[in-house]
Amino acid sequence: MQPSYSFIFLFLIVFACSSEQAAQEEQISQLEELYTINKADSVINQLLYQYYTYVNTFHDPQKNATYLYRAAEVHLELGNSEKAVQDLEQILSKFSVTGKTEEALLLAAIIYDDSLQYKTRAKKLFINYLYRYPDGEGTARAEFFFLPEDQKMQIEIERLNAKLDDPQQPRQTDIVVGEAMLAKYAEYVVKFKQKENTAIFCDRGSKLAATMDEPMIAVEFLTQIKDNYPNYNAYPKMLFELACYYEELPKFRRRAKRNRKTAGILSKKEIRKILKSDHELEARQLHEYLIRNFAKHPIAQRSREHLKNIGKEDSEVILSFILQKDSTL
* Domain extent listing, the chain: 5-147, 150-327
Contact 100, 69 (CB under 8 A): yes
pLDDT of residue 109: 97
Instruction: Check if 5-147 and 150-327 are the same fold.
Output: yes
- Is the pLDDT assigned to residue 92 strictly greater than 50? yes
b/e map 314-324, b = 16+ CB within 10 Å: eeeeeeeeeee
Q: What is the DSSP string of 61-86?
A: HHHHHHHHHHHHHHHHHTT-HHHHHH
Q: What is the pLDDT of residues 11-23, one digit of tens each?
A: 434 444 567 888 8
**What number does CATH give the domain 150-327?**
1.25.40
Q: Is the pLDDT of residue 323 over 50?
A: no
**Max CA-CA distance within the chain?**
126
Residue 172's pLDDT is 64
Max mean pLDDT among 107-111, 152-156, 247-251 falls in 107-111
Tens digit of pLDDT for each residue in 266-299?
888 888 888 888 888 999 999 999 999 999 999 9
Confidence of residue 255 (pLDDT cuts 50, 70, 90): low
CATH numeric code, 5-147: 1.25.40.10
- Calpha distance 8→5 (Å, rounded): 5
SS3 127: helix
69 vs 59: CA distance, rounded Å: 16
* pLDDT value of position 257: 57
pLDDT band for position 194 (cuts 50, 70, 90): confident
In angstroms, the CA 122 to CA 127 distance is 9
Query: Closest by alpha carbon to 281, among 314, 258, 311, 241?
Result: 311
Q: Distance between the two ends of the chain, CA-based, in angstroms?
A: 126
Burial of 130 (0-12, 13-18, 19+ CB in 10 A): middle
